[in-house]
Structure 1
Amino acid sequence: MGRVAIVTGAGQGLGRAHAHAFAAEGFDVVVNDVGGAAEVVAGEITAAGGSAIASAGDVASWAYAEQLVATAVERFGDLHVLVNNAGLVRDRMLVGMSEVEWDLVMEVDLKGHFCPLRHAAAYWRAQAKEGRPVSGRIVNTSSGAGLMGSVGQGNYSAAKAGVLGLTFVAAAELGRYGITVNAIAPSARTPMTETVFADMMDTAGSDFDAMAPDNVSPLVVWLGSEEAGGVTGRVFEVEADRIGLADGWRYGHRREIGRRFAVAEAGKAVLDLVAEAPAPTPVYGA
């Protein structure tokens, strides 16, 4: 029996590219999306000789996420990989953003990562407690907006930063069961970004499409492989022909005085620390 992967939001863009890439490597693939898009992509995969089924539903639904994991196990006999890819944007400057625009992005982009992760992890933990070998892989999808922030995307940036926090905690908690958890921050032409990247091609004059979503998928497939068992709690920036390891928050310079700071002393410590530290990476669009 081969490895089994769930890819959420796989009806288009990056998710579709991931689903095809997993299938091309011999994985059985559960293609998730809302509406009929999942059926279309699953049909493309099977027509090409791969193994895939469609599962339509909202990954931010607790009950559906549980059903999604159960569907993979019932149809293919096991689950090995969860790729949390589903997401959406509702861009607006913060002073004009509505509660609905905030809540929708948080629901899909952050809760829609947690619900499938939680049910997949429960399945693998049960296997581990039964003494069965586990090679579980979770690949979450963040963004440069989650790493550095993005003007006009306060909701999206907060949700994608939340995905990073979820990734780090899940990696720490789930490693004992044989589960790795990593995140990618991809840059590619998708329905969410096609107006930005429409004309970006390789500048060397070749026909290499630098912003094609297919460029991201090889990393995702490798992170879903058994060989990736030693890599967890990491964030990878990936686009075109580049893969980078993101180096996130670390403890920096400090001031200590052995007692409570006075207000003026706290102010001086802040100014000194800021002066010593490198400037932060600018927010996108700032």
Structure 2
Amino acid sequence: MRLTFDHLVHFVHRTPQEAAEQFCQAGFHAVAGGRHSSWGTWNSLSYFGLSYVEFLAVEHEELARQSENPLVRQCIEDEAKGEGFGQIALRTDEMDAWAERLRGQGLQVTGPVPGSRTRDDGTTLRWRMLFLEDADSALLPPFLIEWSQTDEERREDLTNRGIISAHPNGAAHLKSVGYAVTDLEEATARWQSWFGWEKGEKFHDKELGAICQAFELPGGNVVLCQPTGEGLAQTAWKNRGQRPFFARLAGASKNSEYKIGGGSYFLRALE
């Protein structure tokens, strides 16, 4: 069953509009999203095709603290860690089949959880989410998302609304998102067991100071990174634990690095 990288969740402690403005100052195109009225959260967005970054913030803390949505709970629980990347979502159009499969593997599965968000123009987006827990591991599995629209319908709608648009700095594609992990072999085996993915060759990333393992996915790869010494991976692991910590994007005329809200965005020129 196919999974596609859908989005990176970037927890922020400012308004989503302020987060979008900071992203725009770095040359990216970012727009206001809307409110999750039943969860007490709101967001802003930056799209690279159908892959995107979601800046997620708590708007109504009391409501958010009462929410049973695992992502909202994580957003609250991670507040002490400061701003930074929290989760990724993988897209599917076979949500019920994945729920059955993952439960059969012994994972604790929450959902499918219905979701919706009201846009500023009053229209409502709808989707379903599936949250996973592996009792035998300290790793945080990604969650799955299934949109009510097809990919083609979403792309046309988002483009017509100006939500998908060119980035002034040239960024065009989300290439990968990386996780800091304590034990690369164990983490690789866990991700393989969850989703049945094939792993590539291990490699050393001097820029991150880590030994890494990549899984290739449509929409953006997932890279697991075990720190080998002082460097970005070790700093991220110490500060935020086994969480996403970088996003690599491609399409610019020159290489750039942006530190934004506790996350690292690497923009690379197309080869």
TM-score between the two structures when normalised by the length of structure 2: 0.31
By relative contact order (CA 8 Å, sep 6+), the higher-ranking structure is 2
TM-score between the two structures when normalised by the length of structure 1: 0.30
**Greater share of helix residues, 1 or 2?**
1
Larger Rg: 1
**Greater share of strand residues, 1 or 2?**
2
